[in-house]
Amino acid sequence: MKIKSAEFVISNTDYTKCPVTKEPEYAFIGRSNVGKSSLINMLTDRTKLAKTSGKPGKTQLINHFHINKEWYLVDLPGYGWAQVSKKLKEEWSVMIKQYLLQRENLVNIFVLIDSRIPPQKIDLEFIQWVGENGLPISIIFTKADKTGNRKIITNIANFKNTLKKTWDQLPPSFVSSSAQKIGQDEILGYIDQINSK
Ligand code: GTP
Ligand code: MG
């Protein structure tokens, strides 16, 4: 798929204020700093569409980007960031979960997992929550700058094996590196496939 246009539309704290549309929408979620905003930039061939940072906690709102004037990418705040007060964490969690549960045109949730580290409890719990709520999910293993790296291969295999214990059929998964531009064709191809259904 060719990205002809990618425009920032609006930031929200409340899912009810998100754009009124029936166009398909794809959300990116995962731990703070896992690379959600960087991935949105990589997919759209833009450098500053979504704001990125070396410090966790950069994205704090629900951000809508309109792509090719036909569908939306949504950048969400990360979970699991220690340097946030309990109250704020709770507010973010409610905001994200309400959005994910209530947004009618949301056709897929991409859950991003850092391929450089072993499976994390917080990610497995979040994926479990998505599954229990019957929401459409796929997984993206991020920061795979060297896809042949043995540690990365092992981490991804371990993650999938852990999921297999509770999932009859694993969700679709992708491997990406925003730094090395890996995974763009596969992820955009998957979006294209869903869009044309
Ligand atoms: P929050 O908005 O804070 O939740 O973070 P985020 O998930 O949006 O992460 P963001 O895209 O801001 O990236 C966090 C850090 O990871 C930045 O320093 C990025 O440069 C770095 N990063 C993102 N993608 C990659 C990647 O593919 N490879 C490497 N090596 N670093 C990456
Ligand atoms: Mg971000």
Q: Is 172 in the pocket of ligand 1 (CB under 6 A)?
A: no
* Nearest CA residue ID for atom 20, ligand 1: 54
Write out the two tokens for 9.
Answer: 């539309």
62, 178, 180, 182: residue to mutate for ligand 1 pocket, most atoms within 8 A of CB: 178
Q: Give me the residue spans of the domains in the chain.
A: 6-187
**In this structure, which CATH number among 1.20.120.330, 3.40.50.300, 3.40.50.720, 3.20.20.100 belongs to the domain 6-187?**
3.40.50.300
Q: What is the pTM of this model?
A: 0.97
Contacts 24+ apart (CB under 8 A), 43-47: 43/3, 43/73, 43/184, 43/187, 43/188, 44/3, 44/6, 44/73, 45/3, 45/6, 46/6
With a 6 A CB cut-off, is 173 part of the ligand 1 pocket? no
Q: Is the CB of 34 under 6 A from ligand 1?
A: yes
pLDDT digits 0-9 by tens, 23-41: 999 999 999 999 999 999 9
Confidence of residue 83 (pLDDT cuts 50, 70, 90): confident
Give per-residue pLDDT as tens, 140-182.
999 999 878 999 999 999 999 999 999 999 999 999 999 999 9
| ipTM metric | 0.99
Say which ligand is closest to the CA of 179: 1
Kindly state the helix (H) or strand (E) to which residue 121 belongs, with its residue range: helix 121-132
Contact at 8 Å (CB) between 110 and 139?
yes
188 DSSP assignment: H
